[in-house]
Amino acid sequence: LTGDVADGEASTSTTEEPPTPTPTKAPSRKAKGGRSSGSAAAADDKALRSQSNSFYNSLFGWLSSESHPLPAPVAALGLLFMLGLMMLYTIHCVGVSADMYSAPSIVLQSHRQDGSFHVFDDFREAYSWLRHNTHPETKVASWWDYGYQTTAMANRTVIVDNNTWNTSHIATVGRAMSSPEAKAWRIYRSIDVEYVFVVFGGMIGYSSDDINKFLWMVRIGGGTYPEIKEQDYIGEGGQYRIDSGASPTMLKSLMYKLSYHDFASAAQRQFGMHGYDRVRNTQIGKTDVPLKYFEEVFTSEHWMMRIYRVRDQPNREAAKPASRSGAKRKAAKA
């Protein structure tokens, strides 16, 4: 037994033991995740590049030799066509900008049916008349909208202009325009006004005239002078009117008289409708409009500018229309 044991030990000692396998470390989750995220990012970049390349090819592929290119002459003509369109568009934009922003506002124009233009030069005509037919020291009254134009183009002193900080002067002009003729004459004489002009669009259809602005004159004048009340100028139906439904105060106001003096007969001659206002689209309420304290000295071609001189003394002949018997006696004496 001892020998067997010894022999067994010897055989055991002489026999080589197999090497113990070294355990390999499993890759950490962090490293594995990093590789997976990196491959995903690379895949995303590749997809984006392919998309951008396809987009580029869809737009400009016809110029590239990698796709089906157009013949060189056709491509050149296409480029020239696009450049021509861009140049035409630029010229169009410059023309529209010049017409909208650079055209002077005192010279108006309208389109005719044949495509040509009709020019309304009434403002320049009126300012030129004031410049050449009045004394350099003359004072001119109008609504404040036209103050700077009158100063620059007629070179005359104005009572109010576009610098509207002096509300008392604007209220004075509003009060005069809202008052009856005799009272307005006294107001203008007190501030040494020699000429008054109004902008009137009833003959030609110019809607930005003083009749359409008149309620603002009433409101501004009434804000300083309590005797001017807006309600007195509102006609039938609670509306601002100049026709047969206009209020008596409106029909007696200086603005109405300066706008519609001798208008009814002129409208009859112009388009066959007695006293028809083309802006308000109605016949005026009072067609016989004589003047006693103001004298018409200039009316422009299209009746847009009407200039009146403030008389030194009232015109007594205009106070009452001559009777038929009086007219006959004058004719007999002549």
State pLDDT tens for residues 84-132.
999 999 999 988 877 666 555 777 777 778 878 788 899 999 999 999 9
CA separation for the pair 250, 228 (Å, rounded) = 11
CA separation for the pair 100, 150 (Å, rounded) = 23
Residue 163: the pLDDT is 87
User: Which has the higher per-residue pLDDT, 61 or 156?
Assistant: 156
Q: Is the pLDDT of residue 308 over 90?
A: yes
Write the burial class of residue 307 (CB in 10 Å: 0-12 exposed, 13-18 middle, 19+ buried).
buried
Residue 205: the pLDDT is 92
User: Which has the higher per-residue pLDDT, 50 or 269?
Assistant: 269
Q: Is the pLDDT of residue 20 over 60?
A: no
Indicate the average pLDDT of the chain: 81
Residue 15 — left, alpha, or beta (φ > 0 → left; ψ -120 to 50 → alpha)?
A: beta
Residue 332: the pLDDT is 40
| H or E element at residue 143 | none
Residue 62: the pLDDT is 52
Q: Is the pLDDT of residue 216 over 60?
A: yes
Residue 32: the pLDDT is 46
Q: Is the pLDDT of residue 42 over 90?
A: no
Residue 29, phi then psi, degrees to nearest 5: -65, -30
- Give me the mean pLDDT over the 224-253 stretch: 96
User: Which has the higher per-residue pLDDT, 60 or 274?
Assistant: 274
Residue 10: the pLDDT is 42
Asked whether the CA dihedral 105, 107, 112, 114 is positive or negative, the reply is negative
Nearest to 296 by CA among 315, 277, 279: 315
Which range has the worst mean pLDDT, 141-145, 158-162, 301-305, 319-323? Answer: 319-323
Q: Is the pLDDT of residue 54 over 90?
A: no
**pLDDT band at residue 2 using 50, 70 and 90 as cut-offs:** very low
Asked whether the CA dihedral 140, 143, 146, 151 is positive or negative, the reply is positive
Residue 49: the pLDDT is 65
CA separation for the pair 156, 139 (Å, rounded) = 6
Look up the pTM and report it. 0.66
Residue 290: the pLDDT is 95
Residue 1: the pLDDT is 38
Q: Give the angle 90-92-94 at the CA atoms, nearest 5°.
A: 70
Residue 315: the pLDDT is 80
Nearest to 305 by CA among 210, 214, 216: 210
CA separation for the pair 132, 130 (Å, rounded) = 6
Residue 333: the pLDDT is 41
- Give me the mean pLDDT over the 250-278 stretch: 96
Residue 74: the pLDDT is 81
User: Which has the higher per-residue pLDDT, 272 or 11?
Assistant: 272
Residue percentage of the chain with pLDDT more than 90: 59
Q: Is the pLDDT of residue 334 over 70?
A: no
Q: Is 275 helix (H, G, I), strand (E, B) or coil?
A: coil
Please state, as a whole number, how many other Cβ atoms lie within 10 Å of the Cβ of residue 233.
25
Residue range 311-327, pLDDT digits in tens: 999 887 654 444 433 43
Residue 157, phi then psi, degrees to nearest 5: -75, 135
Residue 8: the pLDDT is 45
Residue 326: the pLDDT is 40
Residue range 277-301, pLDDT digits in tens: 999 999 999 999 999 999 999 999 9
Nearest to 228 by CA among 280, 272, 184, 277: 184
User: Which has the higher per-residue pLDDT, 65 or 276?
Assistant: 276
Question: Facing residues of 306 across strands?
Answer: 198, 299
CA separation for the pair 322, 316 (Å, rounded) = 11
Q: Could you tell me which residues come within 8 angstroms of residue 191 by beta carbon, excluding any fewer than 6 positions away?
A: 139, 141, 159, 172
